[in-house]
Structure 1
Amino acid sequence: MMKNKFSVGYSAFRRFIMIIPIFFVVKILFIFMLVSSFSTYEEKFGSTVIKMKSIDPDPVAYDLFPVNVIIEGVGSFDLDVLYTENDLLFINIEDLFRALKVPCTDGVKGISVEGFIGNAYQPYSIDFAKGIIKVGDRTIRTDDKLLKESGILYMESSLFAKAFGIILDFNYRSLTIKLKADFELPVVKQMRLEKIRSNIADIKGEVVVDTLISRDYHLFKFGTLDWSASSFQNWKSAANNAFGLSLGTELLYGEANISMNYFSQYKFDDRQLQYRWNWVDNDKTLIKQAQVGKISVPLISFINAPLVGASIRNSPTTVRKAKGSYIINEIAEPNWTVELYINNVLVDFTTADASGAFRFNVPIVYGFTTLKLKYYGPTGEERTEEREMNVPYTVMATNEFEYGLSAGIVQDGDGSRFGKGEFNYGVNRILTVGGGIEYLSSLPSDGFIPYATATLQPFSRLILNGEYVHGVRSKGVLNYYITKEILLELDYAKYVEGQKVTIFNSNEERKAKLSIPLRYKKINGFFRLDYSQLVYSAFSYNYATAMFSVYYKQFSTNASTQINWVSEKDPFITNDLVLGYRLKNNYVIRSSVRYNASSSSFISYTTELEKRIAKGYLSASFQKNIISDDYYINLGCKYDFSFARTAVSGSQSKFNSGTSISAQGSLAFGAGNGYIHSNNNSSVGKGGIVLYPFLDLNHNGIFDKEEHLVKLSVARANGAKTIISEKDSIVRIPNLNSFTDYVLEFNDSDLSNIAWRFKHNTYKVLVDPNQFMRIDVPILAMGEISGMAYMEKENELKGIGRILIKIYEKNSDKVVVETLSEYDGYIYKLGLKPGEYRACVDPEQLSNLNFIAEPACRYFTIKTSEEGDIVDGIDFILKKNKE
Structure 2
Amino acid sequence: MSSFSFVAKILFLLVFLSSFTPYEKKSESNFVIDKSTDPDPVSYDLFPVNVIIDGVGSFDLDVLYTDSNLLYINIEDLFRALKIPCTTGLKGIDLDGFIGNEQQSYSIDFAKGLVKVGERTFSAPNKLLKESGSLYMESSYFAKAFGITLDFNYRSLTIKLKADFELPIVKQIRLEKIRSNISKVKGEIVADTLISRDYHLFKFGTLDWSASSFQNWKGGTNNAFGLSLGTELLYGEANISVNYFDRYKFDNRQLQYQWRWIDNDKTFIKQAQVGKISVSTISFINAPLVGASIRNSPTTVRKAQGSYVIDEITEANWTVELYINNVLVDFTTADASGSFTFKVPIVYGFTTVKLRYYGPTGEERTEEREMNVPYTVVAPNEFEYGLSAGVVQDGDGSLFGKWDFNYGVNRILTVGGGVEYLSSLANNGLIPFAKATVQPFSKLILNGEYAHGVRTKGLLNYYITKDILLELDYAKYAEGQKVTLFNASEEREAKLSMPFHYKKVNGYFRLDYSQLVYDTFNYNYSNLMFSASYKQFNANASTQINWVSEKDPFITNDLVLGYRFRNNYVIRSSARYNATDSALISFSTELEKRIAKGYFSASLQRNLQSNDFYLNVGCKYDFSFARATVSGSQSKLNSGTSISARGSLAFGGGNGYIHSNNNSSVGKGGILLYPFLDLNNNGILDKGEHMVKLTTARISGGRAIFNEKDSIVRIPNLNSFTSYLIEFNDNDLDNIAWRFKHKTYKVLVDPNQFKRIDVPILSMGEISGMAYMEKENELKGIGRILIKIYEKNSDKVVAETLSEYDGYIYKLGLKPGEYRACVDLEQLSNLNFIAEPSCRYFTIKASEEGDIVDGIDFILKKNKE
TM range (shorter): over 0.9
What letter is aligned with 1:99? A
Query: Using a 3 Å threshold, how does the CA distance of structure 1 residues 57 and 350 change in structure 2: closer, same or farther?
Result: closer
- Within 5 A, what are the aligned runs for 1:381-420? 383-389=366-372, 391-420=373-402
Which residue, out of 89, 98, 108, partners 1:107?
Answer: 89
Residue 279 of structure 2 aligns to which amino acid in structure 1? V
Q: Distance in 2 between matches of 1:509 and 1:163?
A: 70
Query: What CA distance in whole angstroms lies between the structure 2 residues aligned with 1:245 and 1:50?
Result: 91
Q: In the alignment, is the contact (CA less than 8 A) between 2:361 and 2:601 conserved in 1?
A: no
1:720 aligned residue (685, 690, 702): 702
Residues 1:288 and 1:340: Cα distance change in structure 2 (over 3 Å): same
In 1, are the aligned partners of 2:489 and 2:517 still within 8 Å (CA)? yes
Matched with 1:616 is: 598
Partners of 2:178 and 2:365 lie apart in 1 by: 37
The alpha-carbon distance between structure 1 residues 41 and 392, as it changes in their structure 2 partners (threshold 3 A), is: farther
Asked whether 1:324 is paired with 2:334, we answer no
1:777–1:120 CA distance, 2 compared to 1 (3 A): closer
SS in 2 for 1:652: strand
- Aligned residue among 612, 616, 628 for 1:646: 628
Shifted more, 846-855 versus 402-411: the winner is 846-855
Over aligned residues, Cα RMSD in angstroms? 1.9
Corresponding position of 2:327: 345
For residue 153 of structure 2, the aligned residue among 171, 196, 213 is: 171
The answer for the alignment partner of 1:450 in structure 2 is 432
User: Could you say which residue in structure 2 is the equivalent of 1:813?
Assistant: 795
SS of the equivalent of 2:631 reads: strand
Work out whether residues 425 and 434 of structure 1, in 8 Å CA contact, stay in contact via their aligned partners in 2: yes
Q: Which residue of the partner structure matches residue 503 of structure 2? A: 521
C-alpha distance in structure 1 between counterparts of 2:811 and 2:367, whole Å: 54
Residues in 2 aligned to 1:722 and 1:875: alpha-carbon distance in whole angstroms:
46
Distance in 2, Cα, partners of 1:425 & 1:470: 20
Q: Where does the alignment leave 5 or more consecutive residues of structure 2 unmatched? A: 1-18
CA–CA distance in structure 1, aligned partners of residues 431 and 120 of structure 2: 77
Partner SS for 2:91: helix
Q: Tell me what 1:24 maps to.
A: none
In 2: Cα distance, 1:41 partner to 1:115 partner: 36
Give the SS at the match of 2:731: helix
Task: Assess if the C-alpha contact under 8 Å between 1:52 and 1:143 holds in 2.
Answer: no
CA distance in 2, matches of 1:870, 1:682: 51
Cα pair 1:213 1:766 within 8 Å, conserved: yes
**2:515 — aligned with what?**
533
**What's 1:669 paired with?**
651
8 A Cα contact 1:48 1:149, kept in partner = no
Matched with 1:862 is 844
- Please report how far the alpha carbon of residue 519 of structure 1 lies from its aligned counterpart in structure 2 after TM superposition: 0.9
CA deviations 1:384-421 (Å, max 9, x no partner) are 423242x1100111111110000000000000000000
* Residue equivalent to 1:603: 585
* Distance in 2 separating the partners of 1:569 and 1:789: 99
- The Cα of 1:178 is off from its aligned counterpart by 2.3
Aligned-pair CA distance for 1:688:
0.4
* Structure 1 stretch displaced more, 314-323 or 816-825: 816-825
Question: Is 1:315 matched up with 2:287?
Answer: no
Q: Does 1:506 align with 2:506?
A: no
Shift of 1:449: 0.4
**d(CA) in 2 for partners of 1:159, 1:603:** 80
Q: Post-superposition shift, 1:743?
A: 0.4
The correspondence of residues 217-296 of structure 1 with structure 2, limited to 5 A, is: 217-296=199-278
Q: SS of the residue aligned with 1:192? A: helix
Deviation at 1:865, TM superposition (A): 1.1
Q: Cα gap change, 1:379/1:751 in structure 2, threshold over 3 Å: closer, same or farther?
A: farther
Amino acid across the alignment from 1:707: E
Q: CA shift at 1:757, angstroms?
A: 0.4
User: In structure 2, how many angstroms separate the alpha carbons of the residues matched to 1:410 and 1:876?
Assistant: 85
Which deviates the most, 380-389 or 296-305?
380-389
CA distance in 1, matches of 2:32, 2:88: 28
Q: Which runs of 5+ in 1 are unaligned?
A: 1-39
How many angstroms does 1:652 deviate by? 1.3
Equivalent of 2:196, from 211, 214, 219? 214
2-structure distance, mates of 1:226, 1:746? 32
The residue identity in structure 2 corresponding to 1:451 is F
For residue 864 of structure 1, report the CA deviation from its aligned partner: 1.4
* Mapped partners of 1:714, 1:482: distance in 2: 45
Matched, 1:428 2:410: yes
Structure 1 residue 52 displacement after superposition = 5.5
When residues 51 and 342 of structure 1 are mapped into structure 2, their CA distance, relative to the original with a 3 A threshold, is farther
CA distance in 1 between counterparts of 2:369 and 2:204 reads 25
- Aligned to 1:585, the other structure's residue is in SS state coil
Q: One-letter code of the match for 2:669?
A: G
CA apart distance, 1:109: 1.3
* Partner of residue 13, structure 2: none
Which residue number corresponds to residue 26 of structure 1?
none
1:697-729 Cα shifts (integer Å, max 9, x gaps): 111100011011111010111011110111101
Identity %: 80
Does 56-65 or 173-182 show the bigger shift? Answer: 56-65
Query: Offset at 1:57?
Result: 9.5
1:90 and 2:69 correspond: no
TM-score (norm 2): 0.95
Deviation of the 1:238 alpha carbon = 2.4
Residues 1:55 and 1:787: Cα distance change in structure 2 (over 3 Å): closer
Answer whether contact 2:31 2:128 (CA < 8 A) is retained: no
C-alpha displacement of 1:194: 1.9
1:34-78 Cα distance to aligned partner (Å, 9 max, x none): xxxxxx999xxxx97777667899987111111222222222221
Q: Distance in 2 between matches of 1:364 and 1:196?
A: 19
Correspondences of 1:819-834 after superposition (within 5 Å):
819-834=801-816
| SS at 1:239 equivalent | strand
Q: 1:847 aligns with which of 809, 829, 841?
A: 829
> Structure 1 residues 767, 637: closer, same or farther in 2, change over 3 A?
same
Between stretches 373-382 and 547-556, larger displacement belongs to 373-382
Contact 2:24–2:31 (CA<8 Å) still a contact in 1?
no
Partner SS, residue 293 of structure 1: strand
Which residue in 2 is equivalent to 1:139? 121
Aligned length: 839
**Aligned-residue offset at 1:164:** 2.2
Q: Distance in 2 between matches of 1:751 and 1:120?
A: 43
The separation in 2 between residues aligned to 1:362 and 1:342, in whole angstroms, is: 9
1:544 is the counterpart of 2:526: yes
- Deviation sequence 1:155-188 (CA, Å, 0-9, x none): 2223322322222222223222222223222222
Show the counterpart of 2:6.
none
Equivalent residue letter for 1:674: G
Amino acid at match of 2:765: G
Asked whether the 8 Å contact 1:382–1:681 carries over to 2, the reply is no
TM-score by length of 1: 0.93
Q: Is the 8 A contact 1:379 1:615 kept in 2?
A: no
Rounded Cα–Cα distance in structure 2 between residues aligned with 1:686 and 1:134: 64
SS in 1 for 2:428: coil
Q: Secondary structure at the match of 1:708?
A: coil
4+ runs of 1 displaced by more than 4 Å?
Answer: 47-60, 379-382
- The structural deviation recorded for 1:551 is 1.0
Answering whether residue 136 of structure 2 is matched by residue 154 of structure 1, we say yes
Equivalent residue letter for 1:386: R
Task: State the partner residue of 1:471.
Answer: 453
- 1:834: how far off? 1.2
Q: Does the CA contact (< 8 Å) of 2:437 and 2:446 recur in 1?
A: yes
Mapped to 2, the partners of 1:474 and 1:513 lie a distance apart of 20
Q: Which residue of 2 aligns with 1:688?
A: 670
In structure 2, the CA distance between the partners of 1:135 and 1:55, relative to structure 1 (3 Å rule), is closer
Alignment partners' CA distance in 1, 2:20 and 2:200: 72
Note the C-alpha offset of 1:797.
Answer: 2.3
Which of 371, 377, 383 does residue 353 from structure 2 map onto?
A: 371
Distance in 2, Cα, partners of 1:146 & 1:58: 9
Q: Tell me the equivalent position of 1:8.
A: none
The separation in 2 between residues aligned to 1:424 and 1:388, in whole angstroms, is 19
Residue type at the aligned position of 1:338: V
1:275 Cα deviation (Å)? 0.3
CA distance in 1, matches of 2:817, 2:428: 78
Task: Name the CA shift for 1:145/1:605 in 2 (closer, same or farther; >3 Å).
Answer: same
